[in-house]
Structure 1
Amino acid sequence: MSDARTEILSRIRTALGTEAPAPAAVPRQYRSGGEHAPGSAEVLDLLVDRLEDYKAHVHRVTAADLPALLASLLAEVPASSVVVPHGVEGAWLSRLADVEVRTDSREAPLSATELDAIDAVVTAARVAVAETGTIVLDGETDQGRRAISLVPDVHVCVVRTDQVVQTVPEAVRLLDADPGRPLTWISGPSATSDIELDRVEGVHGPRTLHVALVS
């Protein structure tokens, strides 16, 4: 409260002969976590339900089958080019054929014009929140700069099952380990709506989001 307002209210209370009431206690019993463990079946099912509700495409796959899945998804686009952060696992891309792979890094970033000409992007993730259907990227080398996950029209995001937590507070605690990193919070493909509630996708980010949930 400003000094002027405090002074004015004090004079009013004095004139009325009343004392300032004691401030009411505000309950602060916020949830610090969920009842289900990270990566549990309940948490994974909830994440899938939320993502699909947001019109994301979810693919549950083993680590051994991930390269084949990525090749299949990019073939469906169809993608002639894909951008990946320089720290992504090379084995993920081992099954790609007839796809130009462009690597992006902070030291050698692709321009916005170059990214706009690329069909898809493949990244990892830092954490996923089941209750909100949100995937968070924190700029680590396997997730890359924010621009690469915002400009191409198709985003394929690889999330390990052990990265899935139930609640936002759990995710925030994990992200707090590296507070200086830029965060990108993704809840489904980019979408907005006009005053008549007509949904439009791809306005300020990827039109299509594929999530590879790897166990």
Structure 2
Amino acid sequence: MVLGRIRRALGGTGPGAGVPPVPRRYLASHLPEGPDRAATAVELLAENLADYRALVHRVEPEGLPALIARLLAARGARSAVVPPGVPDAWLPADITRVADDPAIGAAELDAVDSVVTGCALAIAETGTIVLDGSPDQGRRRITLIPDHHLCVVRVPDQVVASLPEAMPRLVPHRPQTWISGPSATSDIELDRVEGVHGPRVLEVVLVGPTGNGGTADPAPPGTTGP
């Protein structure tokens, strides 16, 4: 009723009638256009992920299985939750694969060492990984309960510069999870506690051309190599 009276006072009856258009002159992204834009976005993503205390690795596609095997071994992982869309070749043979089964409860997921997923996309300016429940990402709970999340991002195809660039590429009705670093919170004294409502450790593998013959690039400041 109140909104209807306002609309009539503005001289119209339909939705938005009488309301002057709002100029929207803000930038969709702060990254300049040019041939190096995609590479710049990937570098910015790596820097911002590291700033959020995620561990970042870079590797050529053919080196991905060996890198995942090393990262899981470095954590002493013996089991990993694996969504059905994750290629079998990504996982080493000595890892027990736990299927993304709705029947698995929270206690069982908590006993799994790691979870390995892909992603929907990654946002460079905010260092954010977006999951949307696709077959290579699985249900939301499998990435919130295990203590270690290993997420694979295909670069540059899955990297966007900014939030305005991300929204048109996401399907609104899908169950999205937005991740900016490992789960953490602080109390009133600013004591940081990690692993409160998600993984304590987030490792992001950027898979794409490294210019280094199939091996991982030297890590950007604050990130790690393989």
Please point out which of 107, 131, 138 is paired with 1:137: 131
Residue of structure 2 equivalent to 1:158? 152
Secondary structure, counterpart of 2:62 in structure 1: coil
Residue of structure 2 equivalent to 1:181? 174
Residue of structure 2 equivalent to 1:20? none
Instruction: Tell whether 2:201 aligns with 1:203.
Output: no
Letter in 2 for 1:30: Y
Please point out which of 149, 169, 181 is paired with 2:143: 149
Please point out which of 166, 170, 188 is paired with 1:171: 166
TM-score by length of 1: 0.83
Residue of structure 2 equivalent to 1:28? 24
CA 1:85/1:195 → structure 2, altered by over 3 Å: closer, same or farther? same
Percent same amino acid among aligned pairs?
56
Which deviations, in whole Å up to 9, do the C-alpha atoms of 1:114-154 show, x marking residues without a partner?
A: 10110100000010000000000010000000000000000
Give how far 1:32 is off: 3.0
CA contact (8 A) 1:191 1:202 kept: yes
Residue of structure 1 equivalent to 2:69? 71
More helix per residue: 1
Output the CA distance in 2 between the equivalents of 1:168 and 1:60.
Answer: 23
CA 1:79/1:36 → structure 2, altered by over 3 Å: closer, same or farther? farther
Bigger-Rg structure (1/2): 1
CA 1:39/1:127 → structure 2, altered by over 3 Å: closer, same or farther? farther
The size of the alignment, in residue pairs, is 195
CA 1:198/1:181 → structure 2, altered by over 3 Å: closer, same or farther? same
Output the CA distance in 2 between the equivalents of 1:167 and 1:198.
Answer: 30
Instruction: Tell whether 2:78 aligns with 1:85.
Output: no
Output the CA distance in 1 between the equivalents of 2:37 and 2:63.
Answer: 19
Output the CA distance in 1 between the equivalents of 2:189 and 2:22.
Answer: 39
Unaligned segments of structure 2, at least 5 residues: 10-18, 209-226
Output the CA distance in 2 between the equivalents of 1:164 and 1:71.
Answer: 24
Give how far 1:40 is off: 1.7
Give how far 1:24 is off: 8.9
TM-score by length of 2: 0.79
Secondary structure, counterpart of 2:61 in structure 1: coil
Please point out which of 111, 118, 123 is paired with 2:112: 118
Unaligned segments of structure 1, at least 5 residues: 11-22
CA 1:195/1:36 → structure 2, altered by over 3 Å: closer, same or farther? farther
Residue of structure 1 equivalent to 2:96? 100
Output the CA distance in 2 between the equivalents of 1:203 and 1:39.
Answer: 36
Which deviations, in whole Å up to 9, do the C-alpha atoms of 1:170-201 show, x marking residues without a partner?
A: 111100xx222100000000011111111111
CA 1:96/1:209 → structure 2, altered by over 3 Å: closer, same or farther? farther
Output the CA distance in 2 between the equivalents of 1:42 and 1:109.
Answer: 43
CA contact (8 A) 1:39 1:164 kept: no
